[in-house]
Structure 1
Amino acid sequence: MRRISLLLGAAATAVVASLATAPASSAGAADTCVSGEFCLYSGTNQTGTLLWSGAGNLDHKVSGARSYKNLGTEYPGADHIYIDWYHYIDGTKFTHNNTCVHYPPDTYKGNFHDYAYVTAATWGGECP
């Protein structure tokens, strides 16, 4: 009986030790945007769901974007991202906007004023 108690105690200790060293759960959407890509997120400050990411030009329209990040790398003529979007308020198209976003370490990420309907994201040269 004593032998069984010792074995059960050792097994319980092993289980507790393995739980204490279990890896943390994966981080949020912000960690899925990799070097060379431009990414759109459903939440502000690059949080929430990753709506789109890619190293090429956006090939479709994306609705519900709240923030963006350009992880492009230095490449003359194709390291800045030009974004065109509309703001929607109460389901009505409100204003057309566009901007150019630098690659790191310059200002490479930001938030849309409200929910955005992104119609284009195109790689290009230096921002005007």
Structure 2
Amino acid sequence: MVAITPDGRLYARHFRASVSSRTVIQALRYFRRQIGTPLLVVWDRLNAHRARATSAFIAAHARDFAVAYLPAYAPELNPEEQCNARVKRALENALPGSVATLHHLVRREFHRLQHRPDMIVSFFRHAGLSVTQLP
């Protein structure tokens, strides 16, 4: 799971399991600790994002998280999709011999992307999003 900010920061939390409400909640806790300010979470309509447990967690932590959902079937509006596409392109010819090696390669590519805030900002522009911070 990846969190990106309009100023070009990237935070990644990798799980070797299916995305579930449990992993979404773990990632939200991690991102909140890392970023340190209340977060606007912009989500697609993945079942784990809309699950009762996830909704209950968000409701219980309303001072830490606000949620906005993207329209259904609109990956072009999600700047995080550009982030994932970039990592996938970097791994197009990779031939990992194990899941552990694949995990290492993915983490390496996300780490490289963390050092390209200009590119992350461009993902927001590509999606046509303008984000301003409230005083």
TM range (shorter): under 0.3
The TM-score, its normalising length taken from structure 1, stands at 0.22
> Going by fraction, where is strand more abundant, 1 or 2?
1
**Which structure's relative contact order is higher, taking Cα pairs within 8 Å and 6+ residues apart?**
2
> Going by fraction, where is helix more abundant, 1 or 2?
2
The TM-score, its normalising length taken from structure 2, stands at 0.22
